[in-house]
Structure 1
Amino acid sequence: MPISRRTFLTGAIAASFALPTAGRLLAQTPQRMMPRNAGIYRFKLGNFNLISISDGILNPPAALFAGDVAPEKLKEVLQQGFQGETLAVDCNVLLVDTGENKVLIDTGSGLLNGATAGKLLENLQQVQIKPIDITAVILTHAHGDHVGGLNGKSGFNFPNARYFIGKQEWNFWTQPSVDLPNFGGPAEMKQQAIKIAKTQLGLIRDRVTQFDVNQEFLPGFTAIPAYGHTPGHVAIRIASGNAVMVHTADTVHIHTINLWNPSWKPIFDADRDLAATTRQAVLEKIASDRTLMFAYHFPYPGLGHLRSRDRGGFDWQPVNWQFES
């Protein structure tokens, strides 16, 4: 029997974005130990010491990120980008040591997304940083692969941290009744997103500091409004002296699909039209200013520059790997 595109996507989504209970079961499944490459990358920004820490990967279907685009157009992009219909999407958590604070930007999946993700704490051990050493956690938005690592089996993962989140994001998810009327995915995926956001943000209710956009809320950190992916989603501008980098969070997801085609609308954006407009504006600014960029879901370590393409969109130029930071 022929399978419709909607039916295919619904099934693929359910398989790719596991419910919390399923994620915990997957995480507990015994697996044969395989050799792994390092999940840390050190670099400097002015006087700040930074580390890109891998939280692992997710394996969603590529079609989620193309929205209503014709399958043949997506297939062409995937071929050009040496990608298949199922993606390996990195999750890159940024640690910034300012000398005064050790700051995490987002926390990864924790136990929410199965055995391929939730590697943050494991990889922190490689740099001999303990969870109790983290003094601040900045949340760009409240999706599971960014807030799932707030807690683990024993409670708070970062018990000594202050937690920072944008006022608009906090107010949206913590209101008594939450809906996402412009969400393009199936109802199950929408309800799961709402449940995770409410549960995870509820954990930090008594520990949270809400910030305004376009104002420095920690020394060196300013939130850039990047609404659309979620109602209060932000990018983070990090500055030390004359050195500047923009952490784009989920302003853009895939270094081929959504970077080459910023107008394509992933089905899971809360407001897909607004997200597309935001994506174009933020990326144009980064490219024109030649600003260093950190991308949460780009190939690890997620660090590089943008340049405009003659045919539209942007190309990604990863930084040259540095063996000494």
Structure 2
Amino acid sequence: MAATTTRFTLPLMAAAMLQFAPLAPPAQAGAPQVRSQAPGYYRMMLGDFEITVLSDGTHAFPIDTVMNNITPAQIGRGLDDAGLAQPLQGSINAFLINTGSRLILVDAGAGALYGDCCGKLLEHLRAAGYKPEQVDTVLLTHLHKDHAGGVMRQGAAAFPNAVLRMAQGEAHYWLSASAQAAAPEFLRSFFDSARAAVAPYQAAGRFQPYAAFGQLEPGVRALPAPGHTPGHAAYLVESRGRQLLVWGDIVHVAPLQFPHPEATVKYDSDAADAQRQRRALLDMAASQRMVVGAAHIAFPGLGRIGAPGGASPGYRWLPVNYEGAPGAD
């Protein structure tokens, strides 16, 4: 009899409890999704220098139509291993160096040349605590639109007090009418955008290409890295024995070009030179344990290079460890 009573009583008790249970609070998911990213800057210390990476935005990188010397199977496997798919969003990063006495910007993003995806560098510069008027020098790795477009804003110099510098060979090529006439059709608009970008600095007497690679500022050296463009440069930043290699367009797509450094892009002016420079700088950065500042690796584009060896068939990208409050290195 006891078993029968329990069998019928428990469901009745449960139903009674449900009648008096408090109702769940109303859901708050009616709040709209924000759909915007955090301000695109990231800070680290390099010895006595403060490095601030600035995002200009991300854009869809058309791997299938741009990359050469790599098979579709290798592309598919590389993206799949990284958990990525096409269209791949490529970062556009620039690097602000505060030496304590000078403020130096390496590359300036695309500005208005890539549309609404990009042109966020000035906004992020201000969010990071700086003003465009405070920049003393802008160093360009090369004069492609996504590195030089941001030095100009509505026809005026975006950095009105800065000197604009790049390798003389780079300036000579992209400002040359004869080079433009001989270039592939898809590159000809790059010559127009290069001339427009440098024009305000030329007019102000602040356009100063350098004839020789080497030290340009205390702690900042220019290194030749031709191949992607004829006068492409990298910049080696050093303070208290710490090194940062800002290498421009040595790598465009990390999950493909680290395991396959032979992979090139159709925008390379000399694919063979681009391959040689990639291997040389990868080996240098790996052997000397440099931090690399990469223009197109996922923001903030700071990491070290793991050399091939053991079970690893190719180079590896080792992102820097995030620091919430960067202090002295």
Same fold (TM over 0.5): yes
Q: Deviations over 1:185-226 (max 9, x none)?
A: xx4421122222233233323312222454101111111111
**Counterpart contact for 2:53–2:93, Cα < 8 Å:** yes
Secondary structure of the residue that 2:80 maps to in structure 1?
helix
Q: Is 1:200 aligned to 2:197, yes or no?
A: yes
Q: Deviations over 1:121-149 (max 9, x none)?
A: 11112122111111111111000000111
Structure 1 alignment gaps of length 5 or more: 1-31
Whole-angstrom distance in 2 between the partners of 1:70 and 1:253: 16
Where does residue 11 of structure 2 map in the other structure? Answer: none
- Which is worse superposed, 170-179 or 231-240? 170-179
Q: How many residues align?
A: 290
Task: Please show how residues 133-148 of structure 1 align to structure 2 within 5 Å.
Answer: 133-148=134-149
**Counterpart contact for 1:142–1:201, Cα < 8 Å:** no
Where does residue 305 of structure 2 map in the other structure? Answer: 306
Where does residue 23 of structure 1 map in the other structure? Answer: none
Secondary structure of the residue that 1:306 maps to in structure 2?
strand
Whole-angstrom distance in 1 between the partners of 2:212 and 2:254: 26
Whole-angstrom distance in 1 between the partners of 2:217 and 2:65: 35
Larger radius of gyration: 2
CA shift at 1:180, angstroms? 8.5
Q: Is 1:291 aligned to 2:315, yes or no?
A: no
Q: Deviations over 1:246-285 (max 9, x none)?
A: 0111111121111221111211111111111111111111
Task: Please show how residues 243-254 of structure 1 align to structure 2 within 5 Å.
Answer: 243-254=242-253
**Counterpart contact for 1:261–1:312, Cα < 8 Å:** no
Where does residue 130 of structure 1 map in the other structure? Answer: 131
CA 1:109 to 1:274, structure 2 compared with 1: closer, same or farther past 3 Å?
A: same
Where does residue 12 of structure 2 map in the other structure? Answer: none
CA 1:316 to 1:64, structure 2 compared with 1: closer, same or farther past 3 Å?
A: farther
Where does residue 164 of structure 1 map in the other structure? Answer: 165
CA 1:124 to 1:70, structure 2 compared with 1: closer, same or farther past 3 Å?
A: same
CA shift at 1:309, angstroms? 2.5
Secondary structure of the residue that 2:179 maps to in structure 1?
coil
Where does residue 19 of structure 1 map in the other structure? Answer: none
Q: Deviations over 1:4-57 (max 9, x none)?
A: xxxxxxxxxxxxxxxxxxxxxxxxxxxx97332131111111111110111111
Whole-angstrom distance in 1 between the partners of 2:319 and 2:70: 27
Secondary structure of the residue that 2:296 maps to in structure 1?
coil
TM-score, structure 2 as length reference: 0.83
Whole-angstrom distance in 1 between the partners of 2:232 and 2:261: 17
Where does residue 281 of structure 1 map in the other structure? Answer: 280
Where does residue 265 of structure 1 map in the other structure? Answer: 264
Whole-angstrom distance in 2 between the partners of 1:72 and 1:274: 25
Runs of at least 4 residues off by over 6 Å:
none
Q: Which AA in structure 2 matches 1:270?
A: S
Where does residue 102 of structure 1 map in the other structure? Answer: 103
Structure 2 alignment gaps of length 5 or more: 1-32
**Counterpart contact for 2:57–2:118, Cα < 8 Å:** yes
**Aligned-residue CA RMSD (Å):** 1.9
CA shift at 1:319, angstroms? 0.7
Whole-angstrom distance in 2 between the partners of 1:154 and 1:204: 11
Task: Please show how residues 173-184 of structure 1 align to structure 2 within 5 Å.
Answer: 173-179=174-180
Whole-angstrom distance in 2 between the partners of 1:56 and 1:156: 20
- Which is worse superposed, 136-145 or 33-42? 33-42
Whole-angstrom distance in 1 between the partners of 2:126 and 2:57: 15
